[in-house]
Structure 1
Amino acid sequence: DVVGAVDDIPVDLHDPEIWEAHMKVFRAAVGRPVDAVFTSEEYGTELARRFGAEEVLVDPARSLFPVSGTAVRADPAGCWEYLGPAVRAALTRRVVVLGAESTGTTTLSRELAAHYRRRGGVWAKTGWVAEYGREYSEEKLAAARAVDPAASWEHMTFTSREFPVIARRQDENEDRAARLGSPVLFCDTDSFATGVWHERYVGGRNREVERIAARTRRDLYLLTDHEGVPFEDDGLRDGPELRPWMTARFRRELARTGRRFLVVSGDRGSRLEQAVAAVDGLLAEGWHFTAPLPERR
């Protein structure tokens, strides 16, 4: 089992009272006798003594696993292979590609992932997350055709209850990919976008979808402009006349909610160039962590 506890007591390895304050936190968290203390730190000897446990030093020179908390804070991407899945998911820069129907969101998501994979190294595992709403729609239409082979997309209707299901599944797929990939993940839509699609198919906002969308941090949105992109009817789309409204709604909601976004326009190559420049700018900003508590060793 892994247990955690908040320990915001200053570190002073020369002060017995501060040592005992830390031990009080540790003992309460563990809740049972400690047999061994595994550590790479010099203070492991004293920590083991206070627990009445055996000290087991693990790679104190950091030669087998050249990583430390200090190194991770300085360069998370450089330490990526040493981070656990949950930490990767928390640190992954999430870039969402969203837009109206037939504006190239899937194409751009795939091309961005491929572009960063070609950089190699830690970026070789860069992935993208497909739009679950489309999978859901395909299954919905297939179920209707199983009953009536003549059923078409025009016959499909949605209820408000379906959209939280779509939003949750989208987030689950995104989180799963973030645990396994590189420091950047590309998402073909997200649960925030699901809220705008709810407006389109049902009308009004869905509070549960908004609560779901608020749980996950996204770092950058790329809004694909409908201008200059021919409409392609793939059997699951409503028509080109709705695209200007959808683009405008996405743009207004992104601005209203204070999300960082860029509208990408032009031809396919130009859109990819704009997107890569924006993502590179995001990655160049690095990660910002709260400074560690002062230490006296």
Structure 2
Amino acid sequence: MTKGFILGKFMPLHRGHCHLIQTAVDTCNEVTVLVCSLPTEPIDGNIRYEWVKKAFPTVKVIHFKEVVPQEPIEHPQFWDIWTEIVQRHHPEQIDFVFSSEDYGYKLAECVGAKHILVDKERRVFPVSGTLVRNNPFEVWDYIPNHVKPYFVKRILIHGGESCGKSTLTKQLANHFGTIGVQEFAREWIENNNNEFNYSDLILFAEEQHKQIEEGVQVANKLLFADTDSMTTKIYSEEYFGKVHPSVELLSEKSNWDLVLLLKPTIPYKEEIQRNFGHKREYMHERFQNILIEKGLHFVEIDKVADERIKQAIEAIYNFFDFKN
């Protein structure tokens, strides 16, 4: 029974890594992968560990969290240290060490195994962890589907009543070929005789948050959302003079990469569930102030008609510096 061994940071896991691990799986009867992480690294090691486990459920995946030398120059006993680490986590004899780097030859020698070098020149999958971290959108197709949600950028369409949030959310989602999460509360209120109470706001905030998180799982690079719990908080204060702790907690968790704040520059459209047409500027200030309080990056969108979608698209391209 042949045993294969791989170690790496997988920061993040990409298709090149998957090719490496699959090569080991196709070659050996048993494969062990050691996911190595340090607390100072930009992607949490626990997340990387789960990524590898999900991609290869039949492989033995171990998370190694100790702070040890990362390069031979850092410690005179570097190879002794790593030989002990490998043998501690894989006490059985290893037949093959798989890697895409030359260090694999030395590691294999230390543990008495044969080294198999896999796609060192990155010809099969021209990608690296550094490339993904620096610009995930440029190498999107080389990121496994279950890893992509980590890199999805979240964009909130924010603003008061009748400022075009729903329309712009749909337009942007269509333009970028991705998901646009609509406002849950609006549909719910319309389906319930345009009535709601204080406790309903908990449902609004929780369901909106849930739909956003579900949308991230299937979004293509960007996710757009019309409304989040910050909006629920504002309206809770306006209607009831208080905010439920559950709504407050979700509001505190609001973490958007970019917010497009819509100015009330389009004509106000009367609807039965709308009640703040007489103080649009006041509500706009409220929506702006909550973004400032939370330190969220926002761009104010003040154009109308076709110029509005153009202004929003330009703001997105400028902020994220990517080509669709």
Q: Give the TM-score range, shorter chain.
A: 0.7 to 0.9
The correspondence of residues 234-273 of structure 1 with structure 2, limited to 5 A, is 235-238=272-275, 240-241=277-278, 243-273=280-310
Distance 1:33 1:211 in 2: 49
| Distance 1:158-1:32 versus aligned 2 partners, 3 A rule | farther
Residues 106-158 of structure 1: CA distance to partner in whole angstroms, max 9, x if unpaired? Answer: 111111222334xxxxxxxx32222222344345x1xxxxxxxxxx32xx232
Quote the offset at 1:80 in angstroms.
Answer: 1.1
Kindly indicate whether residue 257 of structure 2 is the aligned counterpart of residue 219 of structure 1. Answer: yes
Quote the offset at 1:6 in angstroms.
Answer: 3.6
Aligned to 1:95: 155
Aligned to 1:158: 197
Unaligned runs of 5+ residues in structure 1 are 118-125, 142-151, 287-297
Distance 1:27 1:200 in 2: 63
Distance 1:43 1:56 in 2: 11
Kindly indicate whether residue 191 of structure 2 is the aligned counterpart of residue 134 of structure 1. Answer: no
Quote the offset at 1:97 in angstroms.
Answer: 0.3
Distance 1:279 1:44 in 2: 42
Q: Is the CA contact (8 Å cut-off) linking 2:259 and 2:297 kept in structure 1?
A: yes
User: How many percent of aligned residue pairs carry the same amino acid?
Assistant: 30
Aligned to 1:200: 238
Q: Secondary structure at the match of 2:303?
A: coil
Q: Is the CA contact (8 Å cut-off) linking 2:179 and 2:219 kept in structure 1?
A: yes
Q: Secondary structure at the match of 2:306?
A: helix
| Distance 1:192-1:6 versus aligned 2 partners, 3 A rule | farther
| Deviates most, 58-67 or 34-43 | 34-43
Q: Secondary structure at the match of 2:121?
A: coil
Q: Which amino acid aligns with 1:167?
A: A
Quote the offset at 1:50 in angstroms.
Answer: 5.1
Unaligned runs of 5+ residues in structure 2 are 1-52, 54-60
| Deviates most, 194-203 or 11-20 | 11-20
Distance 1:190 1:92 in 2: 17
Q: Is the CA contact (8 Å cut-off) linking 2:255 and 2:296 kept in structure 1?
A: no
Distance 2:93 2:184 in 1: 46
Aligned to 2:21: none
Kindly indicate whether residue 168 of structure 2 is the aligned counterpart of residue 108 of structure 1. Answer: yes
The correspondence of residues 19-168 of structure 1 with structure 2, limited to 5 A, is 19-22=79-82, 37-48=97-108, 55-85=115-145, 87-117=147-177, 126-138=178-190, 141=192, 152-153=193-194, 156-160=195-199, 162-168=200-206
Q: Secondary structure at the match of 1:200?
A: helix
Q: Secondary structure at the match of 1:222?
A: strand
Distance 2:154 2:307 in 1: 21
| Number of residue equivalences | 262
TM-score by length of 2: 0.67
RMSD: 3.3
Q: Is the CA contact (8 Å cut-off) linking 1:92 and 1:185 kept in structure 2?
A: yes
Aligned to 1:174: 212
Q: Secondary structure at the match of 1:228?
A: coil
Higher relative contact order (CA 8 A, sep 6+): 1
Kindly indicate whether residue 70 of structure 2 is the aligned counterpart of residue 11 of structure 1. Answer: yes
Q: Secondary structure at the match of 1:11?
A: coil
